[in-house]
């Protein structure tokens, strides 16, 4: 055993660490402690970043839901407004059609009145001409003068009846 190189290597290894234990242990622990502190700070930072990311996700989800609600509301308002406009346009179109129909009826009535007036006037003209012809043939001049005098005498009472 004392002649083997592995034995002496182990003894020298143990003696080396026994003599330099304190000098080696302090820098090694310092390096390990600094590495542990760095890992701990990175873990804290990653936890903080995760919390922030979760908060951002919640905010984004909330904003998305609010945007969806607003979009639905806008769509509903647009549909309602479009329905109102369509109803208004339909009502206005119906009113315009009714106005045009009434105007056409008024024109037709005016044309009918004018036609009736024209026919009456033509009938009066024909009746007057016929009466002239008949009266002119059947009435003697003396009787015609009497009729004209009587008509002139009755004229004020006929005018009074017409005004009243």
Q: What is the pLDDT of residues 129-160, one digit of tens each?
A: 888 777 777 777 788 788 778 888 888 887 78
What mean pLDDT do residues 32-49 have? 96
Distances from the Cα of 32 to the Cα of 25, 26, 64, 81, 158, angstroms: 10, 10, 46, 71, 138
Band (24; pLDDT cuts 50, 70, 90): confident
What mean pLDDT do residues 84-106 have? 94
Number of domains in the chain: 1
For the chain, give the percent of residues with pLDDT over 90.
52
pLDDT of 55: 97
Exposure of 158 by Cβ count < 10 A (0-12 exposed, 13-18 middle, 19+ buried)?
exposed
What mean pLDDT do residues 100-109 have? 95
The domain of 34 spans 5-163
| 133/120 Cα distance (integer angstroms) | 19
């Amino acid at each position: 055993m004392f002649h083997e190189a592995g034995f002496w290597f182990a003894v020298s290894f143990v003696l080396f660490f026994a003599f330099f234990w304190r000098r080696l242990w302090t820098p090694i622990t310092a390096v390990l402690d600094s590495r542990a502190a760095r890992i701990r700070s990175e873990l804290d930072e990653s936890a903080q970043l995760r919390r922030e990311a979760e908060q951002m996700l919640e905010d984004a989800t909330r904003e998305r839901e609010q945007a969806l609600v607003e979009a639905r509301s806008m769509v509903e308002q647009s549909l309602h407004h479009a329905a109102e406009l369509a109803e208004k346009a339909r009502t206005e179109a119906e009113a315009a059609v009714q106005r045009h129909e009434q105007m056409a009826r008024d024109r037709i009535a005016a044309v009918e009145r004018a036609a009736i007036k024209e026919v009456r006037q033509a009938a009066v003209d024909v009746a007057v001409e016929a009466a002239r012809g008949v009266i002119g043939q059947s009435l003697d001049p003396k009787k015609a003068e009497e009729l004209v005098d009587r008509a002139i005498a009755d004229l004020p009472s006929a005018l009074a009846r017409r005004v009243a």
